[in-house]
Structure 1
Amino acid sequence: MSMIEVEDLRKNYGAFRALRGVDFTVDTGEILGFLGPNGAGKTTTMKILTGFLNPTAGRAVVAGHNVLEDSVEVRRRIGYLPENTPLYDDMTVKEYLRYCGRLRRMGGTWLADRIATVVGMTALHPKYRAPIKTLSKGYRQRVGIAQALLHEPEIIILDEPTVGLDPNQVVDVRSLIREVGEHRTVIICSHILPEVEATCGRVVIIHEGVIVANGSAEVLKSEHSARTMFDVSARGEVDDLVVAVGNVSGVAGVAATGHAGGLASVRFESALGELDMGPAVTNAVSGAGLQLVSMVPQRASLEDIFRSLTQVEES
């Protein structure tokens, strides 16, 4: 069952078309990675989903509620962590969470119980009575996640949840996101691709206001691996290796990648597989008087796919 449905979503700012017919769904209990370069439409899409921005055209439904017709009900069902969490440094963690709860009209036993629950989930006990201004980046991020979870939302939207965290903090936040995702729908907006790949079951990539990829990391790698990348090493001069490999039929984009200790290395792309390219490259390298050491195919990473799909804007 879809918790979020987005159909032909469009948003214009004057003549600029920020969203140009965005379509995607997010299932109940799914952890979705929403990726895109700066200016691609990520923030605009999230603002529409959270009810803070009206679309020019199209339809967005959150937990059965249309964002245009019932934005208040939509907001009740969403917990949101913006990239720069709006914390109040003069408050303690306890005071801040109580303040957030009251803004959402929570109170009494319900608020007290929920604060205790989210403090436990985010491991904030050691800093519960500490002023927010004294907290590290990692603890500040935990406070932001705690406020997003406070009112028991069905959907959590996290914008760059691991930016600025050290490796140990990243592991902790990743574990927390997975725990949250067991019972809720989660959308993670991020540019840290390995983090998204490690956490999210599915990835949506938006570029220039259009969805350009939608699927699991493994599916995207399979779909976008029509061209295989190879790393070749041989004993000899790197310029000779570039020429030898470049003359092989089916080879494209040969580039030198290193030359040390008499070992030259190049990388190239081909639409052909290893069984087709192996003999031809071996013969070409040997024919140039070089000694082939290795030829290793490299499967496209999520970062490779992201760059290939957004290269116009990134160039």
Structure 2
Amino acid sequence: MSRALLLLVGLLAAVLIPLLLGGSEIWSRLTAFPLPWLLVMFGMILLCWGVNTLRLRLLLGDQCDKVGRLRSLGMVMAAEFAYCATPGGSGGPLTIMALLARHGVRPARGSAVFAMDQLSDLLFFLCALSGILIYALFQHLSQRMEWMLMVSAVSLFGGLISCVMVARYHRLLIRLSGRWLARLNVKAATRMRWARKLLQFLAAFTDTLKLPVQTLIKVFALTCVHWGLRYSVLYLALRGLGADLQWAWSFLIQMLALSAGQFSLLPGGAGAAELTSAALLAPMVGKSTAAAAILIWRAVTYYFYLLVGGPVFLLMLGRPLLKKLMKLRQA
């Protein structure tokens, strides 16, 4: 119940922050927004789900026959809902692995598929940020923009280096974590079981990396399409409101806002993402425009995921797992 209350409070904060920022002008901005543009943005999210379904099936490799196309789409929608409804997005990987396990995909393989999916995302953001950095060299940037670029670059490259270090020194990591767990009086059998699961995951991840090069290229191409579409929503919202902000800066604002939402450990970053994006966007386009754009952006990329993905989640996994995910942080 407390997790559901936290989600409700987050949703209220997510709506109230733009409303308070925009004041009385926000309603006139929202009512003047072109309806065809809004329908196009919702269509982009539907296309994102289709793209992620193809990406999931490619990563499953020879095990994709265990999951039908329609069920693959349902898995993607259910996982997106769990990602948006749980603190820090913790429910997303659990949902996708639980659904894959129900169709005969081993947990180690399911976790490897998710890890490969995340690695592909990380590579996309590194490439996108590199492109923005090159573009910024020919632009006159304010201190705010320089700070945003520096923070983004450090965090992404730090994430990539961490992944490489874990893969390279996983045996040392297992030994050190075993000693640390022993000091916490964790049973030897439990430590061995966790170490065995980690080794099984690494083996499955290695198998996933051994997929044909053409398949991996397709996965990365689909990743680029997915994030390119999803991170264009705020740009289109601003254009529909008459604001002239370059796509690169709208991309950077979304990346920082959603990262702040992740660190806040609120469901879907509700409240934190709005507050961060408002602080970054308002000086560029004005308070009322920023507030209206944030409401439209989150309606398309957050509330829509909850409204449409929720019934799919309940249909595929039922209420017991939903309650388990909502109580995850209480354990």
Give the structure-1-normalised TM-score. 0.27
Which protein has greater RCO, CA pairs closer than 8 Å, 6+ apart?
A: 2
Query: Which structure is larger by alpha-carbon Rg, 1 or 2?
Result: 1
Relative to its length, the structure with more strand (as a share) is 1
Give the structure-2-normalised TM-score. 0.26
